[in-house]
Amino acid sequence: MECQEQYPAVRPVDWLASEAMKSRIQALSEYLAVYRAEARDRRRARNLRELRHDIRRLEAWRWYLDAARRQPRWWHWLRVVSAALGQRPHDPLRRAGKRRQGMLRLSAYSVIDRAYAALMEDCQGCLLALSLRRDGGDPACRGRLADRVAGLNQLRAQLADEAERVAVICAVLGLVQRCASWFGLHPGALPTVGS
Amino acid sequence: MNHHSWQSRGALPRVFSLADLKRFLGADEQTAMATALRWLESGQVRQIAPPRPVFIRLGAGELPDERDLCLALRRTFPAVVIVGGSALWRQGASRERDLLLDCAVSGATDQCHLPGVRLHLRPDGWLAAVSRAHGLSGHCHEVPLLSAEMAVADAAAFADVWVPDRSSLDWQRLSAERVAVAQRALQSIRA
C-alpha cells in the first residue's frame, strides 16, 4: 500500500474537507452513471433526481471550501449572509414553524456529514489493513492516517454546530451553479478574483 | 464468546461496513476498530478489498452464495459491473458458464478477498461511456450487467476477461450492429 503517496503529510483541515467532498462526489457520480443507464421505472428516476441533488450540494460546499483559500469578496459576503440567515432559532415554537426549512437543512447537513464519514471510514479501513500486516505498517503512515481521522472527527463536530449556516451556503451556491449551467458555464469558470 | 460477538446480538448482517459495526456495537470509534481488528485477526471476518471498510463473515474454505457475493461487491465498489463471459452467460448469450465472476471496477485495488471473483480495472470515463451507449442491461442481485454486445466489445477492447469460445455463443442473441456501436463507444476512452 503506497501510504506515503496516498496520504501526504499533515494538511490543513480545509484540504481534508475538500478531499472528502471530491471523493464523495466521485462515488455518487459513479452511482449516477449506473442509475442513468437504468432509470426506467419511477423509483430509479427518483433516485436519479436525489443523487443529482446531493451531488449539487456537495459541489456547492466544495466550491465554498476551495474559495476559502483565496477568500474572494463574494466569499466574505456569503459568510456574513449565511451567518445571519443560518442562526439557530432559540424559540422552539418558531423552530417548529420552520419544519420544511429544518428538513432541508438537515438534509444538506447529512449529505456533507456522510461525505466526511465516508472518508473517515476509508482511513480507518486503511488503518485496519495496515494493522493486519506482519510489520504493522509504517508508523509514520499510521500516524498520518490517525491525524486524518482526528481531523475528520473535528470537521464533523464543526459541521453539526453550523448545520443551518452550511444549508444556506449550499442553497445559495447551488442556485448560482444552476444559473451558471443554464448559461452553459461551468462553476469553476465563474469569476473568482475579487468578485 | 465475547460480549461483542454478533451471535449474541443476532443482527449484524453477513456483509457489513465499519459504519454498520459502529451502529451495531453502539460503541465509540476505538472500540469498533478494536473489535473489527480482533475479528479480522481471528479469521472470522475478511476485509473484502483492503483498505475499503467493508467486511464479510466467512469461515475458512467457505464460499459465499451469489447473493452475498454481489452484495459484498456492491457495497465495496459502488460502480461494479459484471463483464465478459459472466455477463454473457447471465444474459443468455452463452452456453458456457463462468467459473469466476468477472467484474469491472473503476478504483484501483491491490487485492480482493472474495473467493470466486476476479476484478478488472477500467479507466475513468468507462462507465459513463458504457452508460451513454446503453451498454448496461439487467442485474444480477442488483449488480448491473453489461449487455451481451457491450460485453463482447469490452472483452475485445481490454483483452483481460474470460469469454467463451465463439462456438459457445448464441449468435442469434447478438446484434452485429450493436456490437459495432459498443466498440465505437469504447474507442473514445481507449484513445
Question: Which residues of B fall below an 8 Å CB-CB distance to A?
Answer: 17-19, 29, 33, 36-37, 40-41, 47, 50-54, 78-79, 81, 106, 110, 127-128, 130-131, 134-136, 144
A149 Cα distance to chain centroid: 16
- Across the interface, whether the CB atoms of A31 and B78 are under 8 A apart is answered yes
Q: How far apart are CA A150 and CA A142, in angstroms?
A: 12
User: pLDDT for B2-48, tens place per residue?
Assistant: 444 554 556 789 999 998 998 888 878 889 899 999 999 998 899 99
Q: What is the DSSP secondary-structure string of chain B?
A: --TT-HHHH----SEEEHHHHHHHHT--HHHHHHHHHHHHHHTSEEESSTTSSEEEE--TT----HHHHHHHHHHH-TT-EE-HHHHHHHTT-BSS--SSEEEEESS--S----TTEEEEE--TTHHHHHHHTT-EEEEETTEEEE-HHHHHHHHHHH--S----GGGB-GGG--HHHHHHHHHHHHHHH-
Residue A193, helix vs strand vs coil = coil
Q: What is the pLDDT of residue B190?
A: 65
- Across the interface, whether the CB atoms of B131 and A117 are under 8 A apart is answered no
- Across the interface, whether the CB atoms of A129 and B51 are under 8 A apart is answered yes
- Across the interface, whether the CB atoms of B136 and A34 are under 8 A apart is answered yes
- Across the interface, whether the CB atoms of A122 and B78 are under 8 A apart is answered no
Answer yes or no: is pLDDT of B65 > 60: yes
β B101-105/B117-121 pair status:
parallel
Higher pLDDT, B130 or A184: B130
Answer yes or no: is pLDDT of A5 > 60: no
Q: Does A128 touch chain B (CB under 8 A)?
A: yes
- Across the interface, whether the CB atoms of B127 and A131 are under 8 A apart is answered no
Per CB-CB distance under 8 Å, the chain A contacts of B78 are 27, 30-31, 34
The half-sphere exposure of A157 on its side-chain side, counting CA atoms within 13 A, is 7
**Percentage with pLDDT > 90 across chain A:** 31
Answer yes or no: is pLDDT of A191 > 60: no
Q: How far apart are CA B153 and CA B88, in angstroms?
A: 12
- Across the interface, whether the CB atoms of A127 and B29 are under 8 A apart is answered no
Per CB-CB distance under 8 Å, the chain A contacts of B134 are 37
Which range among A93-97, B31-35, B144-148, B163-167 shows the weakest confidence by mean pLDDT? A93-97
**Percentage with pLDDT > 70 across chain B:** 92
Q: What is the pLDDT of residue A150?
A: 93
Average pLDDT over residues B55-64: 85
A104 falls in which pLDDT band (50, 70, 90)? low
Q: How far apart are CA B126 and CA B138, in angstroms?
A: 18
Q: What is the pLDDT of residue A85?
A: 81
Closest in B33, B135, B136 to A128, CB measured? B33
Q: What is the pLDDT of residue A187?
A: 57
User: pLDDT for A33-57, tens place per residue?
Assistant: 877 766 566 777 788 888 999 999 9
The ipTM assigned to this model is 0.77
Q: What is the pLDDT of residue B48?
A: 92
Spell out the long-range contacts of A172-179 with Cβ–Cβ below 8 A and sequence spacing 24 or more. Answer: A172/A60, A172/A78, A172/A81, A172/A82, A173/A60, A173/A61, A173/A63, A173/A64, A173/A78, A174/A56, A174/A57, A174/A59, A174/A60, A177/A56, A177/A59, A177/A60, A177/A63, A178/A56
∠ CA A68-A74-A78, rounded to 5°: 80
Answer yes or no: is pLDDT of A20 > 90: yes
Higher pLDDT, A89 or B49: B49
User: pLDDT for B68-85, tens place per residue?
Assistant: 999 999 999 888 999 999
Per the listing, cell 469569476 goes with: A191
User: pLDDT for B106-128, tens place per residue?
Assistant: 876 767 888 889 999 999 888 88
Q: What is the pLDDT of residue A111?
A: 94
β-bridge mates for residue B105, sequence order = B121
Q: What is the pLDDT of residue A192?
A: 40
User: pLDDT for A125-171, tens place per residue?
Assistant: 999 989 888 787 788 889 999 999 999 999 999 998 888 889 999 99
